[in-house]
Structure 1
Amino acid sequence: MENITANTDLVARGLSKPMTLVMAVVAGLAVANIYYNQPMLGLMASDFPGSGVAGLIPTVTLLGYALGLFLLVPLGDIIERRRLIVIQFFLLAIALAITAMAPSVFILVIASVLVGASATVAQQIVPFAVHLAPSEKRGAVVGTVLAGILGGILLSRSLAGFIADMSGWREMFWLAAPLAIIGAMTMALTLPHSKPDTKLRYLQLLKSLTNLWMDFAELRWAAITQAILFAAFSAFWTVLALLLEQPAYNMGPAEAGLFGIVGLAGILAAPIAGRIADAKGPHSIVITGTIVTLFSWIVFGVWPTIPGLIAGVLLLDFGVQSALVSNQHIIYALKPEARARLNTIFMGSMFLGGATGAAMATTAWNVGGWIGVSALGTVLALLALAAQIRALKIRTSKQR
């Protein structure tokens, strides 16, 4: 049995709008680090010819993120959160510096895993924000923080593409290292002190992940659906730079990064979905987001032009982010004292899906080009929709 310590003082003070925005921006700054490599893959591959680095680096970075989710994020339930967040940011800065200096593919791979793992500090921030928010505003708070994360994901590609075009890919990681230190200092100065939610030991904490997975069907369906959707999301962004290098487009990393700015429109989905989830319930938003994701891949497949890619990006980001906000709204309500661990399971599943999608997209690209990748994304979106239909049938049967 867990011994719960209620952080009533923090909840009573609530979460101000400025603090929510600060947490959103810093969370976006953290998660951006796992996406800097994507528009720079062509340049990185030219530095390490014949190594397959273009497909390897985004995959191992996402695997590192998944590893951090399972091993580091649960610590948020047993360690004072502000201190944990600051420590992870400093570890992230060190990993980024190693990446910038990497003399070989082996070192680059190890550093990329470390960057991914330490960048999960973003997922320490999300449940902390939820904990501080009053229950009637949790959906909106999740939406705002996730909007910051989405902004970090998308702007990271634009920034990396620009810096890589101007100076090279290593310079991007040299820039990212001090930005991580700024994130650490910002959180140290602005976050309130917290108390651990449980007195479980670390190994007990990890063991409890299995219990949570088995106890909550809603968690399982949310994790499965979002993992598949994020696989479809990662498939697109993994091969975009490779697609735009083709003679039909003849574009470099800067142009690939500009698609991140296009995708910023998807940020609007997060707070809107959060508010609707607060008012109407989250399940219908998950299904809607899944359908929109499916349409995005149909657009990619039948309209392989720059306008088609832009339209598809808007749909893809809107669909995936709407489902993400709503699924997190669902899981955070299941067991408040275990939010960090619930987030671990959910986001860990999601990023394992993302790593799988990145690896599958590389294979699909090598075998079938853009048509192969479009087919992969469509199949993944259909699988996510099938999972949601199955979950809906189960919920409906239980309500009878």
Structure 2
Amino acid sequence: MQRPISEDRTVAREPGPEAPQARPAAGPLTPERLRLVMLVLAVACGLTVANLYYGQPLLAPIAHAFGVSQGSATLVVTLTQLGYAIGLLFLLPLGDLLENRALASRTLLVTAAALFAAGLAPGFGVFLAMSVLVGVTSVVAQILVPLAAHLAPEEERGRAVGTVMGGLLLGILLARTVSSLVAAAWGWRTIYLVSGVLMLALGALLVRVLPRRKPEHRSSYAQLMVTIGHLVREEPALRRRAFCQAMMFGAFSCFWTAISFELIRQHHMGQLGIAVFALVGAGGAAAAPVAGRLGDRGLGRAGSGIALALAVLALLLARVGSGSVVLLAVAGVLLDLAVQSHQVFSQREIYGLRPDARARVNTVFMTTIFVGGAIASAAAGAVDESYGWGGVSLLAAALPLAGLVVWTYSTVRHLRGRRIPSYAEGE
């Protein structure tokens, strides 16, 4: 099925002198084989991306163990996300150059080593350095999401991306619960050691199950990196999607970075209580497959606006309902639903922009998102120390509100029939 050219592009072409196509796997995947591969990709994405979030509910015991302030402890989240942004910018483009299965499995070996070193770190400086390396190498999750889009038939791309993103989002949302439970039982260092073992096992599983996919780009790595700038310049829809999702992820990071401090300070919770609280957010992962199907039906524009508005409302609820754990939990669920839905709508669109440059498209998209998240996490720590939870929740609400302004402007101009970049694929 041929995808129509959207309004923001007169020609869908690869930036640069070449326009190669990726070499397919050894043969077309049967439906049963495709389902198995998508399941493995979902599990792999979930386990890998969880490394970025294990530290969020552990900031208080980490601060105590290393003798630093709570504000300094938030550097764990900030630097891990900055490391991830670095990996997205410099490692993820290799997905358009190197064989994907080998790239992912070998990178996981470095992730495992960094996790073991973090779990055994003798000082805060070493732990922060290993947190950066964990972030850099956990980019494997974003190597695998575009691979799902490559392997699935075009008419099922949204469903495939939604399935894999569902696993990734479960990893994000369950990571906080798992790390809190493990910390309560065996200490906060244990989760890093356990995850290191899981990364080794996961690398072996990917080698065994995934088909090979070798891109056929003739360009060098340096030339490949130059084309990223071309993508930013030539794809307005990519810029818009990246900005709006960065605002959403910034809000997400603010909420989950500061909420453990609020639960300890205001509601006198321990690690077990924080673990149970974090578990309620896992319901947000259910939005990913639904959003993927809605995106396949051309409802990405409307769904994106609803998701942005829902995030604003969720964070205002977190502000006015801070005295109630139940209301805070409801706000967390609604925020996660909104953030994950908007991301799937966005990825459903951007992966159709340049099929032979999906890794680089994902580089632009995800790097923007995690730079926004890292800045928001750092701001959340400073705001929490000065203004408490009320300040953090208002800061977080302002971010998706900015995205909603951009969405409204784009939608109004689209409805007026002007030739401007469309916000959602197929519209």
Check whether TM > 0.5. Answer: yes
- On the 8 A contact 1:198/1:337 being kept in 2, the answer is no
The answer to which structure has the higher helix fraction is 1
Q: 1:30 to 1:286 in 2, by over 3 A?
A: same
- On the 8 A contact 1:53/1:105 being kept in 2, the answer is no
Give the counterpart letter for 1:65 in structure 2.
Y
- Determine whether 1:233 maps to 2:249: no
1:346 paired residue number: 365
Give the counterpart letter for 1:391 in structure 2.
S
Alignment of 1:295-306 (within 5 A): 295-304=313-322, 305-306=324-325
> Per-residue deviation at 1:387?
1.6
Which residue of the other structure, out of 6, 15, 18, is the alignment partner of 1:2? Answer: 18
1:39 paired residue number: 57
Give the counterpart letter for 1:313 in structure 2.
G
Q: Distance in 1 between matches of 2:150 and 2:413?
A: 30
Q: Distance in 2 between matches of 1:344 and 1:132?
A: 19
2:273 paired residue number: 255
Give the counterpart letter for 2:418 in structure 1.
K
1:277 paired residue number: 295
- On the 8 A contact 2:25/2:211 being kept in 1, the answer is no
Q: 1:10 to 1:390 in 2, by over 3 A?
A: farther
Q: Which runs of 5+ in 2 are unaligned?
A: 1-16, 421-427
Alignment of 1:196-215 (within 5 A): 196-215=215-234
> Per-residue deviation at 1:197?
4.4
1:221 paired residue number: 240
Give the counterpart letter for 2:281 in structure 1.
G
Q: Distance in 2 between matches of 1:398 and 1:146?
A: 33
Give the counterpart letter for 1:59 in structure 2.
T
Alignment of 1:65-144 (within 5 A): 65-144=84-163
CA deviation vs aligned residue, 1:136-175 (integer Å, no higher than 9, x gap): 0100111111110110011111110011111111111111
Q: Which runs of 5+ in 1 are unaligned?
A: none
**Secondary structure in 2 matching 1:169:** coil
Q: Percent identity?
A: 37
CA deviation vs aligned residue, 1:307-349 (integer Å, no higher than 9, x gap): 1111101100100001000000110010000000000110111
- On the 8 A contact 1:40/1:169 being kept in 2, the answer is yes
Which residue of the other structure, out of 13, 22, 43, is the alignment partner of 2:29? Answer: 13
Give the counterpart letter for 1:377 in structure 2.
A
- On the 8 A contact 1:233/1:320 being kept in 2, the answer is yes
**Secondary structure in 2 matching 1:343:** helix
**Secondary structure in 1 matching 2:74:** helix
Alignment of 1:163-174 (within 5 A): 163-174=182-193
Alignment of 1:183-198 (within 5 A): 183-198=202-217
CA deviation vs aligned residue, 1:269-322 (integer Å, no higher than 9, x gap): 100000011013322211111111111101101111111111101100100001
Q: Distance in 2 between matches of 1:187 and 1:18?
A: 12
Query: Could you say what the CA RMSD is over the residues aligned between the two structures, in angstroms?
Result: 1.5
2:12 paired residue number: none
1:62 paired residue number: 81
- On the 8 A contact 1:44/1:53 being kept in 2, the answer is no
Q: 1:32 to 1:217 in 2, by over 3 A?
A: same
> Per-residue deviation at 1:61?
0.4
> Per-residue deviation at 1:13?
2.6
> Per-residue deviation at 1:258?
2.1
2:68 paired residue number: 50
**Secondary structure in 2 matching 1:192:** coil
Q: Distance in 2 between matches of 1:82 and 1:9?
A: 11
Give the counterpart letter for 2:399 in structure 1.
L
- On the 8 A contact 1:82/1:188 being kept in 2, the answer is yes
Q: Distance in 1 between matches of 2:278 and 2:365?
A: 25
Number of matched residues?
A: 399
Q: 1:169 to 1:274 in 2, by over 3 A?
A: same
**Secondary structure in 2 matching 1:2:** coil
> Per-residue deviation at 1:121?
0.3
> Per-residue deviation at 1:261?
1.7
> Per-residue deviation at 1:104?
1.5
Give the counterpart letter for 1:256 in structure 2.
I
2:7 paired residue number: none
TM-score normalised according to structure 1 size: 0.97
